[in-house]
Amino acid sequence: MKTIEIYVEEFISLCGLSGTSVTVTRHILLVLVAVLLSAAAGIACRKLIMPLVHKLTEHTRTRWDDVLLGKPILMAASRIVPAIVIWVLLPMVFTEIPVVHEILKRLTAVYITVMSMKLAIVIIDSLKQIGNDRRSATHQYLHSFCGVLKIIAIFIAVIVVIAVVINKNPATLFAGLGATSAIMMLVFKDTISGLVAGIRLTSNDMLHKGDWITVPKAGIDGNVEDITLTTVKVRNFDNTIMTVTPQTLVDDSFQNWIGMQQGPGRRVNRKVYYDFRSIRAVDETLKAQMVEKGYFKANDIKPGTVNLTLFRQYVEKYLAVHKDVNADMTLMVRQLGPTNTGLPVEFYFFLKDKEWVTYEHNLAAIMEHLYAITPDFGLAIYQQQIAPEV
């Protein structure tokens, strides 16, 4: 700074100026020098340093440096550099006009504080991109914690700006906040409860981005698209977007289908009601019919065997060898309690393909086959008769 002042004084002497014009010229030249140097610093950051850092990060295998030294962060940092240059050069500008010097000093400090806050927010947002393609509980916790960090950064920036404007020490203002902590708790009540609920969701590995969840009370049935400090955004299968608070998921029950998606099969649990009047012992005619169609051999059907028993045995064998059924998981056909609408028979098994459309098609093909062969066993599916209109 002293060197710049010496050069400015020598330039004024060479121009042969005297009197009040010397002061005016000195201030104009010093302001121009400060502006030019700050602009040069900003251009150097954007045109030289940023491309150099970008090339260096491209040649590394790690991902964190691409995120933390990416373009958004470097651009936010480059906006602070010109203000820092002005701050450094301020002592030699308007030294003879204390009021203007003080105003410029405070404005520069406010600008640096605001830009530093924006830089901190950009860094926090960039942290969420590290491992964003993974659905780990650690990343979800980091995602929620980043929301708190942004609130803290904004809060600190506001306190510092107020302290600069009123010319007070920021530490004094922070010390005085103890008396208003109760009010702050009320203001940020939802944020604090959301943070606690988010920590419970992630620490207990209850929810991740990409999970398929069902929340009956909220009418939610879809995939989790985003988890923030105060909301969980879900895209339903009808492409509607619904949001629910983490606190709601913690307080109420919800169904997470991640276990099914990662498991070896997707469950089928269907009930079919059979007419009691069609359940009977197998006679020779029905026995011959089932043998002819290849369901059983003649020696397999014992005298007095009930047709429903044979039907259950055949269905279990059919499902055990079906290419779409995972026979290593639970597979059974069982009776449930009798009702006035027939005898319910439950088909319980797991399909290998868990993708929704394929799952439904495979399930429909299996059940349609079972419906079609029901008459071959002398059985009838219960169907309520509608009285004819008079």
**3-class SS letters over 21-90:** HHHHHHHHHHHHHHHHHHHHHHHHHHHHHHHHHHHHHHCCCCCHHHHHCCHHHHHHHHCCHHHHHHHHHH
CA distance 261 to 263: 6
Which residues, 6 or more positions from 168, have their beta carbon under 8 angstroms from its beta carbon?
Answer: 162
Tens-place pLDDT, residues 332-365: 999 999 999 899 999 999 999 988 899 999 999 9
Give the pLDDT band (50/70/90) at residue 375: very high
Contact 214, 221 (CB under 8 A): yes
Contact 385, 341 (CB under 8 A): no
Contact 143, 134 (CB under 8 A): no
Stretch among 62-71, 222-231, 277-286, 310-319 having the lowest mean pLDDT: 62-71
Tens-place pLDDT, residues 206-222: 777 888 888 888 888 88
Tell me the residue type at 366: I
* pLDDT (0 to 100) of residue 181: 64
Candidates 67, 77, 218; CA nearest to 146 is: 67
CA distance 104 to 109: 8
Which helix or strand (DSSP H or E) is residue 318 part of?
helix 307-320
Contact 222, 255 (CB under 8 A): no
Stretch among 198-202, 292-296, 298-302 having the lowest mean pLDDT: 198-202
CA distance 29 to 293: 106
